[in-house]
Amino acid sequence: MMQTLRVGFFRLFYRFGSWLSWRGKTPTVAHSVRQLPTNAGNLGARVYAQANGGDKPLIVYFHGGGWVIGDLRTHHYFCQAYSHHTGCTLVAIDYRLAPEHTFPAAHEDCLAATHWIAEHVEELGPSNGRIVLAGDSAGGNLAVCSALSLDESAASKVAGEILIYPVVDHYSVPYASYEERATGQALTRDVMLWFWDTYLGSAAPDGDEAAITRPMHASNLSSLPPTLLITAERDPLRDEGKQFAQKCEDAGVTVNYKHYEDVEHGFACSEGPTPQFQAFIDQTRDWLKAL
């Protein structure tokens, strides 16, 4: 009962905070609601189509929120802004959340959505026929885990991935940022522990599950597409993101890595159009042009 109340409270609080940060500051981008008929069943999605996106890849977006409290509503305003400023058609995926649906439900949904979109990209809005997998925090985890799990046909359609302060390892690994940034920002160490435990449920953080929960330990990192990776200074996830960028580079992946000082986890998606958000947008546009 207490778990249900806690989850419900945080979901409502996250939606309200997002609305408060973005209200009156979001460019108007029309969206449509779709049901994607994937092999995991019908998955809800919001499509933010861009009429001039024919020369750009389509962005497949997985929202953050610790696999627990985020949804299409918490990220609606950000997705509008991101689609508008990049000029890309964007498809946001409504994957299943924990604790109602623990691991591997979210991963299975995101992987199935990616496979379906790769085969039907021309049906979703103007694009150049390629896709970019993107996500923030837990959504970044789902983006990179999906990229690592794609079949050859779908992988050939992926032009790149955008990982915004992603979760790439479990809290059992003693990264210094988990202690240095344990408190003092919205995402605390204790909240991150709760997210992980709620998401995994009865699954173990190692063993067979590690391959699709902890990309830091994946054996096929060299298969990843060109990657834009963002980290924030005031973030328990700071150090694992930095290390992951280096590990991907060592595996031969083309990585554009940027660490943002004096910002916290959530700065790109949850704080509205701040100067740091604009810097992130500028970096994304430059990276997209270089693909």
Residue pLDDT, tens place only, 84-135: 999 999 999 999 999 999 999 999 999 999 999 999 999 999 999 999 999 9
Which of 156, 132, 171, 153 lies closest to 256, judged by CA?
Answer: 132
In this prediction, residue 208 carries a pLDDT of 67
For 123-158, what is each residue's pLDDT tens digit? 999 999 999 999 999 999 999 999 999 999 999 999
Report whether CATH 3.40.47.10 matches the domain 2-290: no
**Mean pLDDT score, 238-245:** 98
Instruction: Tell whether pTM > 0.85.
Output: yes
Averaged pLDDT for residues 245-272: 97
| pLDDT at residue number 169 | 97
Tell which phi-psi region holds residue 185, choosing left (phi > 0), alpha (psi between -120 and 50) or beta.
Answer: beta
Give residue 95's region: left, alpha or beta (phi > 0; psi -120 to 50). Answer: beta
Contact in structure between 181 and 238 (CB atoms under 8 Å)? yes
Q: How long is the chain?
A: 291
Residues 6+ apart with CB under 8 A from 179: 189
Residues assigned a catalytic role: 137, 235, 265
Sheet with 158-164: strands ordered across: 32-38, 41-48, 90-94, 58-62, 131-136, 158-164, 227-234, 255-264
